[in-house]
């Protein structure tokens, strides 16, 4: 497919424009379907975006928010993406959004796949908006090149929405949306800042296989818009 790149002069300009774009898309989905879905990623990069989104005037009560992936830790753990979303995004006007966590009471993430699939059968995929990040190893969501589950996670013939993964280069077992679930979404964004990440992305797209750099699998199989600032 293709990668469309939108370059901003600064991270603050990116956040202003991107948060408005997300808000407009969610409003359109609500007007057309009565409901909208937003999939976000963890990490430090989206924090300013979350803060900007939280004060946007949207009928947040009609928005379902979930995560592209989650570390299999308690929601009170500092490593939890759910904790981050609750503390930064589900605030102010966005406090009325419907958040659907990925972490369940199961000790092992593999045992939660069936329950999550049932939970999401009415919510998506397809999701209206998916916002992905990328690691310096080219992983996105929790589709890590180092994990034994990477081939299953990237299998477009899979009927699974979720997959439990165990990276060997990062802590914690994870729950991740599969490639199939990601690329079946209506709008897929890649939110990156800094020259290093952009170099990793460009190298991945031109010199790597999808198994080596999973972000390539996403860009090869759907329209992705890169939102980037130096």
Residue 157 maps to which CATH number?
Answer: 3.40.50.1360
Query: Would strands 2-7 and 69-71 be described as parallel, antiparallel, or unpaired?
Result: unpaired
What pLDDT, on the 0 to 100 scale, is given for residue 122? 86
| Domain range for 56 | 2-229
Which residues contact residue 198 at a Cβ distance below 8 angstroms, ignoring those fewer than 6 apart? 192, 228
| CA 108 vs CA 73, 172, 176, 193: distances in Å | 10, 11, 13, 33
What pLDDT, on the 0 to 100 scale, is given for residue 3? 94
Q: What is the rounded end-to-end Cα distance, in angstroms, of the chain? A: 25
Residue from 197, 192, 188, 187 nearest 218 by CA? 188
Instruction: Give the whole-angstrom CA distance, residue 209 versus residue 6.
Output: 24
What pLDDT, on the 0 to 100 scale, is given for residue 153? 98
The DSSP element (H or E) to which 187 belongs, if any, is strand 187-193
What pLDDT, on the 0 to 100 scale, is given for residue 170? 87
3-state SS assignment for residue 8: coil
What's the predicted TM-score (pTM) here?
0.97
The DSSP element (H or E) to which 23 belongs, if any, is helix 11-33
> Looking at the 3D structure of the chain, how many domains does it have?
1
Mean pLDDT of successive 10-residue segments in the chain (230 residues)? 92 98 98 98 96 98 98 97 98 98 97 96 93 97 96 96 95 97 97 97 96 97 97
């Amino acid at each position: 497919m293709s990668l469309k790149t939108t370059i901003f002069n600064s991270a603050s300009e990116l956040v202003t424009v991107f948060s408005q774009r997300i808000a407009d898309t969610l409003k359109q989905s609500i007007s057309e379907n009565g409901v909208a879905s937003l999939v976000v990623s963890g990490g430090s990069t989206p924090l300013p975006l979350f803060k900007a989104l939280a004060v946007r005037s949207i009928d947040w009560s009609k928005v379902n928010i979930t995560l592209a992936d989650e570390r299999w830790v308690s929601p009170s753990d500092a490593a939890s993406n759910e904790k981050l979303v609750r503390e930064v995004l589900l605030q102010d006007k966005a406090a009325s959004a419907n958040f659907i966590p990925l972490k369940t009471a199961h000790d092992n993430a593999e045992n939660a796949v069936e329950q999550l699939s049932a939970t999401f059968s009415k919510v998506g995929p397809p999701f209206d908006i998916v916002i992905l990040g990328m690691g310096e190893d080219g992983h996105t969501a929790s589709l890590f090149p180092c994990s034994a589950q990477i081939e299953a996670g990237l299998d477009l013939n899979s009927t699974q929405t979720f997959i439990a993964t165990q990276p060997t280069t990062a802590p914690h077992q994870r729950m991740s949306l599969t490639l199939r679930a990601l690329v079946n979404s209506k709008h897929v964004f890649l939110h990156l800042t800094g020259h290093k990440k952009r170099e990793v992305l460009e190298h991945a797209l031109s010199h790597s296989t999808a198994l080596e750099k999973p972000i390539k699998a996403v860009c090869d199989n759907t329209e992705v818009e890169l939102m980037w600032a130096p």
